[in-house]
């Protein structure tokens, strides 16, 4: 039995789905079901007895210990986090409560559970904390990519809250001996991505005939990682990672945002042309940049390849085509996540940027 926290979110849901395709080992899926948690992403598991959903907050100091005692997991993969930089600028307190306080309370619950296991179970147990490359700060264009030894320099409330949670996880290993692992990933993309992030927002807006808002000059560079590659990396780290270690997970796909948008537009031009036969690139609009926008992230993923034999299976070309096709094939899922609260958020974030 494993626990997956945040398992109704984008990466967590993909992980739960992929895990149960690869393994028969059951999953207890814990999610608070905030705006980005969506049980529709898990609909194919509704009748699967290997998937047990628990509506819970990782910071719940009563329910989480009860779930641990009941199900006795051998591993916990912690995806649960507030994860959108723009939202962290508007509402930083939510990020502190979930990413810092929530992680602390989860660690305390897990430590109490782990301390009562027998010695072999203690040795075999794993707590894998899923984090981000944004904790490392921003790179200049010619700087070497982030390694696991790069100094933490978070620049947004989101990345600062994730950096704090990383430090807490590390401290529980060095102080209490809790067998932890940390992964720091680059920008994920793929199925079930909530349409506030760049790629799904561009797809959804393009099909709706809306503007495609690009921050600043669009030259912010990110490394792009197909979500199912990320899931396979986490499975490998759980299987063979050395406790106390950090593994950077990247896709070896550094690209500026404007190139990403042009690629999405070209695929939509091919797969779902506009009625007027013009390119979706005509909908691109440059808007005021967000506060403190980091210029470049880049992941050096050689450690996980060297030590654990993992590397991504998808190129950006293959991954982005699969992603665009998924959104075209799953319009009902997209429509259902675009609630009134989502529309209010988009209005709040983009209304004054034009």
Residue of 31, 133, 229, 314 marked active site: 133
Contact 236, 310 (CB under 8 A): yes
Looking at residue 347, its pLDDT comes to 59
Determine contact, residues 295/257, Cβ cutoff 8 Å: no
Taking 60 as the threshold, does the pLDDT of residue 350 lie above it? no
Catalytic residue among 113, 158, 192, 350: 158
Q: Could you report the per-residue pLDDT of 213-230, keeping only the tens digit for each? A: 999 999 999 999 999 999
pLDDT of residue 84: 66
Q: Looking at the whole model, is its pTM more than 0.85? A: yes
The tens digit of pLDDT for each residue in 88-138 reads: 788 888 899 999 999 999 999 999 999 999 999 999 999 999 999 999 999
pLDDT tens-digit series, residues 305-346: 999 999 999 999 999 999 999 999 999 999 888 765 544 544
The question of whether 133 is a catalytic residue gets the answer: yes
Tell me if 246 sits within 8 A of 184, measured CB to CB: yes
**Residue 354 scores a pLDDT above 60:** no
Please give the backbone phi and psi of residue 213, each rounded to the nearest 5 degrees, phi first.
Answer: -75, 120
pLDDT digits (tens, 9 = 90+) for 159-211: 999 999 999 999 999 999 999 999 999 999 999 998 878 999 999 999 999 99
Q: What share of the chain is helix, strand, coil (3-state, %, to 5)?
A: 50, 15, 35
Closest CA to 260 of 304, 301, 214, 227: 214
Tell me the pLDDT of the chain averaged across its residues: 93
Q: Across residues 137-143, what is the average pLDDT?
A: 94
Distance between CA 349 and CA 241 in Å, rounded? 39
Q: Say how far apart CA 341 and CA 325 lie, in whole Å.
A: 26
Instruction: Compute CA distances 270 → 242, 264, 321, 325, whole Å.
Output: 45, 10, 11, 11
Q: Give 285's strand partners.
A: 213
Active-site residue flag, 158: yes
Q: Hey, what domains does the chain have and what are their CATH numbers? A: 2-189+226-251+292-313 (3.40.50.720)
The mean pLDDT of 6-18, rounded to a whole number, is: 96
35 has a pLDDT exceeding 90? no
Residue of 134, 196, 229, 294 with catalytic role: 134
pLDDT of residue 346: 47
């Amino acid at each position: 039995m494993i626990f997956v926290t945040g398992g109704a979110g984008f990466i967590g849901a993909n992980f739960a789905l992929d895990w149960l395709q690869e393994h028969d080992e059951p999953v207890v899926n814990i999610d608070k079901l905030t705006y980005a948690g969506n049980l529709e992403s898990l609909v194919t598991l509704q009748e699967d007895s290997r998937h047990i959903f628990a509506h819970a907050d990782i910071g719940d100091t009563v329910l989480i210990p009860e779930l641990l005692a009941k199900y006795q997991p051998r591993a916990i993969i912690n995806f649960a986090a507030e994860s959108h930089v723009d939202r962290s600028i508007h509402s930083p307190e939510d990020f502190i409560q979930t990413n810092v306080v929530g992680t602390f309370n989860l660690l305390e619950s897990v430590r109490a559970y782990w301390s009562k296991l027998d010695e072999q179970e203690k040795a075999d147990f794993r707590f894998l904390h899923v984090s981000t490359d944004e904790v490392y700060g921003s790179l200049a264009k010619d700087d070497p990519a982030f390694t696991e030894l790069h100094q933490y320099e978070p620049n947004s409330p989101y990345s600062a809250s994730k950096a704090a949670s990383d430090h807490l996880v590390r401290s529980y290993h060095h102080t209490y001996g809790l067998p932890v692992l940390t992964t720091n990933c680059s920008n994920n993309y793929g199925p079930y991505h909530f349409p506030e992030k760049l790629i799904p927002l561009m797809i959804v807006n393009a099909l709706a005939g809306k503007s495609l808002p690009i921050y600043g000059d669009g030259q912010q560079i990110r490394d792009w990682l197909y979500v199912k590659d990320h899931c396979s990396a986490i499975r490998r780290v759980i299987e063979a990672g050395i406790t106390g270690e950090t593994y950077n997970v990247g896709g070896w796909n550094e690209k500026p945002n404007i190139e990403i948008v042009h690629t999405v537009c070209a695929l939509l031009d091919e797969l779902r042309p506009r009625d007027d036969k013009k390119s979706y690139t005509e909908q691109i609009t440059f808007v005021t940049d967000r506060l403190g926008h980091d210029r470049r992230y880049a992941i050096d993923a050689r450690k996980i390849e060297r030590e654990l034999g993992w590397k991504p299976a998808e190129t950006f070309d293959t991954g982005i085509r699969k992603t665009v096709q998924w959104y075209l094939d799953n319009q009902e899922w997209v429509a259902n996540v675009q609630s009134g609260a989502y529309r209010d958020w988009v209005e709040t974030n983009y209304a004054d940027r034009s």
